[in-house]
Structure 1
Amino acid sequence: MTVSSLLVVGENRWDEEVIYNMFEERDVNLILSIPLNQNERDVWYWRRERLGDYSIKSAYVLLQEQKNLSVVSTGDRCWKRLWALKLPPKVTHLIWRAAMGCFPTKVQIQTKHVNIDAMCLQCQLEPETIAHAQLTCSFAKECWYKLRGITYGGTQESFLDWLSGTFDSRDTKQRQEATMLCWSQEATMLCWSLWKCRNELVWNQRGSNCYNYSLVARNSKGELLHAKSRCRLGQAAPDSAEAMSVREALSWIKGQQYSTGTCCWRRISSS
């Protein structure tokens, strides 16, 4: 039922006969006491604003409430503490994106119908979700342990839940070591550093999960003929990495068609 069904057809006044037939006396009196505008046409009204004008801010809050992110209780408190941290804007903005699920991890990229391998490049053991990249990856766990002796298990909570819990933490040991603000700043900076290390590994092939080798060819006079350097992704024991590098060197020498020569090998450096 709509309000228009209680009006006289073609007129802007209540249909009292319909109203008396459908409602009790109390409701009838309430309905008939509502004045109807006789001079102005109906206009759009945004109920989320006091003046009825649409605003992006109120629409954003509405969308977050519909996504069940507890914006009023958990989110607002979390955001206020995040923006209050005395850290570079690029750090707080990145953490906000992670908490909102707008982080370009491999799993997130897959949701955009991009066909890529979802496994984490750091550990090669689990899909790269936001919580995994920041908390439960073996590389992340080691960093958290070195920072405060903390180890996060295979928790299923979202990054926003974890961040809110971190800001709300009142652990006695943490209070003795530093203020809560200091701990929040440390945790936020570590999250930013973990993502920076991840990007170094993805885009520049630099990180804790790769090994390097270099090849140099000289003639009998010691003059440089050719040189080659490569960085390979993946975890490998030193002996295995050295063996694979030797294989690459022999294949490279064969490809250069050197007829005679001496192979001098130096142990590779790993990162």
Structure 2
Amino acid sequence: MEFPVAGPKVQLLAWRACQEAILVCCNLRRKGLHILTACMRCGNEAEDVLHVLLRCSFARQVWALSSLPWRWINLEVRPMEDWKQLKGPDFSLFLLICWNLWTSGNQLAFEVVSLSPLEVIPKVQQGDSSTFGLAEPGPGKHPMLDADEELE
């Protein structure tokens, strides 16, 4: 499968996530909005950047369905900046999964559309430039796990 190169919108999201500057509940509250900080999906933790992209049970299920080697990563302590060790198609896939987690959260918040992890993974596989803000597809292939794989 040809794998797309992450475009400017996706790269900007990644940069903002590394700066803890994406608009999640904790950051909005810090800016003075009087809102609850609990995660919209799980309600279990404060919705900060790491929770949205890694810690939330929804995010963990999406990562488990991907082909990235997340089994060895301690998702509780891994800061965003350490993830740049991924190279080539793995890094593009990482960015696109983050983008999908972010946009699916926005769909839940603003459109009341709740996607399942099994619906998120095919969006990454499709590599639709209008959905992901992608550059033209580049060289490299990246296999995804079968979306029918059982969630952990």
With the shorter chain as reference, the TM-score category is 0.5 to 0.7
1:140 counterpart (53, 59, 63): 59
Q: Residues of 1 paired with 2:9 and 2:65: CA distance?
A: 24
1:198 counterpart (105, 111, 124): 105
1:154-165 matches, cutoff 5 A: 155-160=76-81, 165=82
Unmatched tracts of structure 2, length 5 or more = 117-152
Unmatched tracts of structure 1, length 5 or more = 1-84, 170-179, 210-271
Deviations 1:150-169 (A, max 9, x none): 35655134323xxxx32225
Q: Is the 8 A contact 1:105 1:130 kept in 2?
A: yes
Cα distance, 1:208 vs structure 2: 3.9
Cα distance, 1:86 vs structure 2: 3.1
Q: Which has the larger radius of gyration?
A: 1
Q: Letter of the 1:94 partner, please give it.
A: L
Which portions of structure 1, spanning 4 or more consecutive aligned residues, are displaced by more than 4 angstroms? 151-154
Match of 1:166 in 2: 83
Match of 1:187 in 2: 94
* Structure 2 residue matching 1:125: 3-state secondary structure: coil
2:40 counterpart (121, 131, 137): 121
Q: Residues of 2 paired with 1:95 and 1:123: CA distance?
A: 23
TM-score, normalisation: structure 1: 0.38
Q: Is the 8 A contact 1:130 1:159 kept in 2?
A: no
Cα separation, partners in 2 of 1:126 and 1:153, compared to 1, 3 Å: farther
Q: Residues of 1 paired with 2:99 and 2:41: CA distance?
A: 16
TM-score, normalisation: structure 2: 0.66
Cα separation, partners in 2 of 1:134 and 1:157, compared to 1, 3 Å: same
**Which structure is richer in relative contact order (CA contacts within 8 A, separation 6 or more)?**
2
% same residue: 23
Deviations 1:165-217 (A, max 9, x none): 32225xxxxxxxxxx311000000000000000000000000148xxxxxxxx
Q: Is the 8 A contact 1:122 1:208 kept in 2?
A: no
